[in-house]
Structure 1
Amino acid sequence: MSTAGRTTATDGAPQPVTLAPLSGPGQQPWNRQRLRSNNEWLLLERLRCHGPLSRAQLARDTGLSKPTVSTALATLELAGLAREAGRFAPERGRTAVLYETDPAAGHVLGLDIGRARLRVAVADLSGCVVARRDLPNRGRSANAVADAVVAAAREALAEAGLPGTAVAHTVAGTPGVWDERRRSVRLAASLPGWGRPGLFDRIADGLGTTVTVANDANLAAVGEYTYGAGAGSRLFVYLLVGTGLGLGVVKDGELLTGAHGAAGELGLLRLPGCASATATATATTGTGAGTGTGTTLEETVSADAVVRTALDLGMRRPLSAEKVFTRARLGEPAAVEAVRQEVDRLGYVLAVVAALLDPDVVVLGGGIGRSADLLLRPLEQALYERSPLRPRLEPSRLGQDAVLLGAVATALEAARPEVFERRTAPVPG
């Protein structure tokens, strides 16, 4: 297998970048090059978070001397990491040159691989999406899906005018849990064949980049916490309801993934009275029995469950969950009743989440979440009937882009230090 790309596991959370001590156990000994590197990184992060800034502002904010700031800025400019952003003329004193980071110093790829759609975004180091692709998932095999992802990513890069070597890091969101030992995804029943080892190595080799694999609900939580309705919450839950059921939990800015990366896989819970063998078979085939029911919690509340309920109530094929909600808005009795039953089942899910996690905010996302206008108020009532715990319910602000933007945010956290190290590394010899 080619060594051009490789896959790694992640919990999906953007990790804060901290500077290593200049010396100490397990650290490289103090030297002038390391000191300069730390100063440059400190200034670069300050510019990223608070720029544009002048030399004087940077010196005041960081405690570094003005000569040190000037030297570090010259290095960052030469490396293509920072640039002049204009000039500021105060009422008194000299005109000051302002500096900012150069977002074109590197780029990342975010991938959202779902049963229904494939989404790809190319973003610069500021997080600005410069190109994207959004297409139906028509792959008839796992390999075909992987190849379609690679083709879409290459098209997006071509649209942005970038070679593959411009990508510093790639993060892929997928149903299921990444197994590093087997190098495959487990528990992704909604994508048949997706658990076969080698698929993400195939994507990494096709792109020629490092690919980090993360659960889609976790990435959606990261995206919504970073850019959307979860920002600033102490304990935030993103409930992803669509072709599957999953949740991502962010506590004080840190994603909680559990001991084996499977925290939030609520949809895998088998319902009382379901035999183990039957449940396993159903999880594999994606079938369910009864009005809106299945052997697992996922099959009970997912989009397929809404369709099953509607069909049992007399609605006719062809039918999708989206059509059921649309017809419920028009007042069609069978559709209204199907939505009512979905609210009842989701209310139970929310009560379980509230009891286990005590979140301050729960964001409803995924395909079902796009019908928050019909669901949120009845869901609040259904939750309050079951639990004295009252988290605030919010619709997703990112909508169908939550997973994709979470992948971008996660890729940026890995890419920024990688680009810095590469561009500021001393030239051999």
Structure 2
Amino acid sequence: MAMTSSVIQTPIARKISTNAVIRTILANGPISRADIAKLTGLSKQTISEVVRDLEDDGWLKPVGQTDGRPGRNAIIYEINARAGLAVSIDLGGTKIAAAICDLLGNVVAETKVATDPRGGMHLVNQFSDLLVELALAAGTTADKLRLAVLGTPGVLDPVTGHINVAPNIPGIDAINLQQVFSDRMGITVIVENDVNLAAQGERWQGHGVETGNFAFVALGTGVGMGIIANGTLLRGARGAAGEIAYLPIGGDAFDPGGFTLGTFESAVGSVAMLRRYTGFGGRDASTVADLFAAFDAGDTSAVAAIEETARLVAVAIAAIGATLDPELVITGGSIGSRPELVDAIRRFLPRCTPYPPRIEISRFGNRAALMGGVGIAVQRMHDDLFGVKLRDV
């Protein structure tokens, strides 16, 4: 009986080979089979078989040929990014932002709508309609989405699936939002605190790429913090690590009214800033955008309101620094993205702490949580489909 030189790989060996090929293409971009073989150490025969299977299944696609080399031109392959699509949703008290991304993290469709003020199940209906419309804009259908990552204020109770400590969104604590939304759309739904998502977004592609110890502080309608400690998201015993809205700063820590919104949030959130502006004699500012416009115009009441807000935030960051010793604090949100406020915070910090951390404004602006959701979605798709984690690449 004639012997054959082909090597029959076991299922485990083939999975390892496939993992190596996918990881190499993700790390290097468009590449030939010969170059994959050089980088992985796998045989040319194994590479050919793996690439053929991945191409047949739609995960790889040819994008051209090598040129300028001796010998025959070789086909170049890249990941077929559209073979996997997911959605990231950032649920806020007034706005819902959503984006569909592909396997490489490219955003292929994005939208923003007003949050249904009725909350509860009305939000599930809104999410469902949003996914249908967004999928259409992306040239696909909602049933082709592989998963959804939902960022919300508050803390997810892993037992009940209810989201607690989210006073700006009514009824969200009365339903298992993750389960109901998943059942409605027929896809896996990952629910995460929105500020934790923002921190993970910075870790993925923002200012946090180069450091494993930083805090993301969101300032807007509400306030919150996501913590990356030694390269890992810090959740705490009940998943509430980073709920800085309840820091005893800016008001009477023993006032039970602070148990709802939080003492610190009540002092520096958008409502508090407008109230402070009016108290200092300001007029004609119905939104925070109006307040910053007045600041830019030299309105002394606006200057005073922003300076006082910055002073309180600086005290909070000093407390964060003393507790966590982060290398970096990244600010974001509708207020935290404003350089007028952040510049003032930088001025106050050395006056209230001997070791002020570096402060940077998020590269994503108001899209930090949305992009964090994209990063989580891409990581989950890579892991589920190929067994490859982003940090492996």
**Alignment of 1:341 onto 2:320:** no
Map of 1:300 onto structure 2 = 267
Contact 1:107 1:168 in 2 (8 A): yes
**Alignment of 1:383 onto 2:362:** no
Letter aligned with residue 134 of structure 1:
K
**Alignment of 1:267 onto 2:253:** no
1:122 to 82, 85, 100: 100
Contact 1:81 1:420 in 2 (8 A): no
The CA distance in 1 between the partners of 2:230 and 2:199, in whole Å, is 13
Map of 1:315 onto structure 2 = 282
Map of 2:390 onto structure 1 = none
Contact 2:318 2:356 in 1 (8 A): no
1:360 to 318, 327, 337: 327
Map of 2:4 onto structure 1 = none
Letter aligned with residue 327 of structure 2:
D
Map of 2:235 onto structure 1 = 257
Contact 2:131 2:142 in 1 (8 A): no
**Alignment of 1:406 onto 2:365:** no
For 1:30-429, what aligned pairs fall within 5 Å after superposition? Answer: 32-271=10-249, 273-275=252-254, 277-280=256-259, 283=260, 286=261, 296-316=263-283, 319-372=286-339, 374-420=340-386
Letter aligned with residue 139 of structure 1:
P
User: Could you tell me the percent identity over the aligned residues?
Assistant: 31
Contact 2:118 2:170 in 1 (8 A): no
Give the drift of 1:234: 3.1
Higher RCO (C-alpha under 8 Å, 6+ residues apart): 1
* Alpha-carbon displacement from aligned partner over 1:380-408 (angstroms, at most 9, x marks no partner): 12111111113211111101111111111
The CA distance in 2 between the partners of 1:393 and 1:202, in whole Å, is 39
Contact 2:119 2:169 in 1 (8 A): no
Letter aligned with residue 403 of structure 1:
A
The CA distance in 2 between the partners of 1:256 and 1:58, in whole Å, is 37
Unpaired segments of 5 or more residues in structure 1?
1-30, 287-294, 422-429
SS state of the match for residue 93, structure 1? Answer: coil
* Alpha-carbon displacement from aligned partner over 1:247-305 (angstroms, at most 9, x marks no partner): 1122454322223221111112345744364433xx1xx5xxxxxxxx61121111111
Normalised by the length of structure 2, the TM-score is 0.91
Contact 1:121 1:153 in 2 (8 A): no
SS state of the match for residue 281, structure 2? Answer: coil
* Alpha-carbon displacement from aligned partner over 1:119-153 (angstroms, at most 9, x marks no partner): 11111111111112211224323222232122112
Contact 1:235 1:252 in 2 (8 A): yes
Contact 2:295 2:302 in 1 (8 A): yes
Give the drift of 1:202: 2.7
Give the drift of 1:317: 5.7
Letter aligned with residue 392 of structure 1:
R
Letter aligned with residue 401 of structure 1:
R
Give the drift of 1:345: 0.5
SS state of the match for residue 363, structure 1? Answer: strand
Map of 2:5 onto structure 1 = none
SS state of the match for residue 42, structure 1? Answer: helix
SS state of the match for residue 209, structure 2? Answer: coil
The CA distance in 2 between the partners of 1:185 and 1:147, in whole Å, is 17
SS state of the match for residue 175, structure 2? Answer: coil
Give the drift of 1:101: 0.9
Map of 1:24 onto structure 2 = none
The CA distance in 2 between the partners of 1:148 and 1:71, in whole Å, is 45
Unpaired segments of 5 or more residues in structure 2?
1-8, 388-393
Letter aligned with residue 71 of structure 1:
E
The CA distance in 2 between the partners of 1:77 and 1:170, in whole Å, is 26
The CA distance in 1 between the partners of 2:110 and 2:252, in whole Å, is 45
In the superposition, relative to structure 1, how do residues 188 and 41 fare at CA in structure 2: closer, same or farther (>3 Å)?
same
Normalised by the length of structure 1, the TM-score is 0.84
